[in-house]
Amino acid sequence: MRTLVTLTLLLLCGSISLGQDMATTQMDRAEMRQEILAEADFLQRELNHLKNVVKFVRPSVVHIETTTANNSGYASSSQVDEAGAGIVFQQGTSFFVLTNRHVINQAPLERIKIYLEDGRVIKAKRVLTDRDTDVAVVEVESDRLIPAEVGDSSEVEVGEKVFAVGSPFGLSQTVTYGIISAVGRRNLQLGRQGLKLQNFFQTDAAINPGNSGGPLFNLRGEVVGLNTAIASNSGGNDGIGFAIPIHAALGVAEQLLENGQVARAFFGVRMDADFDAAAANKIGLFRARGAKVSGITPGSPAEAAMIEVGDVITKFYGQEVEDDLQLINIVSLCPLDEDIRVEIFRDGKFVEKTVRLAARKQFED
């Protein structure tokens, strides 16, 4: 009898315990469900933001096609020689499309077709290009054009999320997403002729042939770069794309529109070619970075900014300076008539200066 009672009690206790476990599991699942819903709402808001940014930017992006002439001297409607993208900007009351020189490919005006996002086709009035930077400006005339918002490319940092819009393989208005992988990329072998002046952003946002000339833009919907090139063993996207910082590209564009040519910026310092890790350590820098000033050009912007012999220039226009050659590239791509922040290392301290660069031609005559 006692055995039967004991067994009955054990079964009852087991049922109660099992019921409690099931109730606990249901409560845990209910709490988990609420957590999932809360996180999903947060992620959906973030996703909605990304979608809104893309909708905001796309009307300012154009698809560009150039055609070649056939043997009769006329262009074939189906023969596309080059395809790429461009960005609409406004200067005063005029509009222009910023793109890459290699997208235009020296095509005559009548063989350049520019497609807006709404399907309209507009014509090029004038084309100006700069070989050293691969920047091209196409002056256009049309109504209801939407210019892009411009970001501060000197503030772009590694890890920042970015979008790329372009026409990979002729597929216009294609959007990809990634991060800034590196800044200040240079000494790259790009194309047959290469580019003389290089100071690129590197991104893993998918860039393929046809993305050239399109924008690289940030989470605020601001253009920070002009997509220009890829590094690829396959000819397609390998996760390594390059963009010209937008301040540099627009600086070139504005000079082309105003003067028909580009005046390279001039700083006015000579640099110590023997500056190395040992020399850096001796003055208190823990690694060999920057460019050490060994001379100042009289009357130059550097003199006006009170740069001194012995200073080490560690940052220029928001970019870390690794060595002399990089400083030359950065300066050459900087805009004129704009205050540029310069960080120097002097007497064991980092000091910030402001300089306004001049045209190199003024000091060559």
In this prediction, residue 2 carries a pLDDT of: 54
Contacts 24+ apart (CB under 8 A), 114-119: 114/62, 114/63, 114/64, 114/86, 114/138, 114/140, 115/62, 115/63, 115/64, 115/65, 115/172, 116/59, 116/62, 116/142, 116/145, 117/58, 117/59, 117/61, 117/62, 117/173, 118/59
Q: What architecture (CATH level 2) is domain 160-259?
A: Beta Barrel (2.40)
Candidates 88, 85, 50, 91; CA nearest to 64 is 85
E strand or H helix at 359 = strand 358-359
Give dist(CA 200, CA 191) in Å, integer. Answer: 15
Which residue type sits at 71? Answer: N
* Beta pairing partners, 78: none
Q: CB 220: neighbour CB atoms within 10 A?
A: 10
Candidates 140, 141, 160; CA nearest to 152 is 160
In this prediction, residue 106 carries a pLDDT of: 79
Candidates 127, 115, 211, 229; CA nearest to 164 is 211
pLDDT along the chain (365 residues), means of 10: 52 56 72 87 87 94 82 52 90 92 88 93 92 92 92 92 91 92 80 69 91 94 93 73 92 89 89 86 82 92 94 90 85 84 92 90 72
Candidates 278, 281, 306, 276; CA nearest to 292 is 276
Q: Read off the tokens for 250.
A: 């627009």
What is the rounded radius of gyration, in angstroms, for the C-alpha atoms of the chain? 29
Residues acting as catalytic residues: 102, 134, 212
**CATH class given for the domain over 265-362:** mainly beta
> How many helices (H) and strands (E) are present in the chain, helices listed first?
6, 21
In this prediction, residue 17 carries a pLDDT of: 59
Give dist(CA 59, CA 49) in Å, integer. Answer: 17
Residue 314 CA: distances (Å) to CA of 166, 224, 334? 35, 22, 16
Q: Enumerate the CATH 2.40.10.10 domain ranges in the chain, comma separated.
A: 160-259
Q: Enumerate the CATH 2.30.42.10 domain ranges in the chain, comma separated.
A: 265-362
| Contact in structure between 243 and 200 (CB atoms under 8 Å) | yes
Residue 33 CA: distances (Å) to CA of 26, 45, 239? 10, 18, 37
* Beta pairing partners, 128: 137
Q: Record the pTM.
A: 0.76
Give dist(CA 13, CA 29) in Å, integer. Answer: 24
**Count of residues for the chain?**
365
**Residues in Cβ contact with 142 at an 8 Å cutoff, skipping those fewer than 6 apart:** 95, 116, 120, 122
In this prediction, residue 70 carries a pLDDT of: 56
User: How many Å separate Cα 80 from the centre of its chain?
Assistant: 27
In this prediction, residue 75 carries a pLDDT of: 47
Each residue of 65-77: b (16+ CB within 10 Å) or e? bbbeeeeeeebee
E strand or H helix at 288 = none
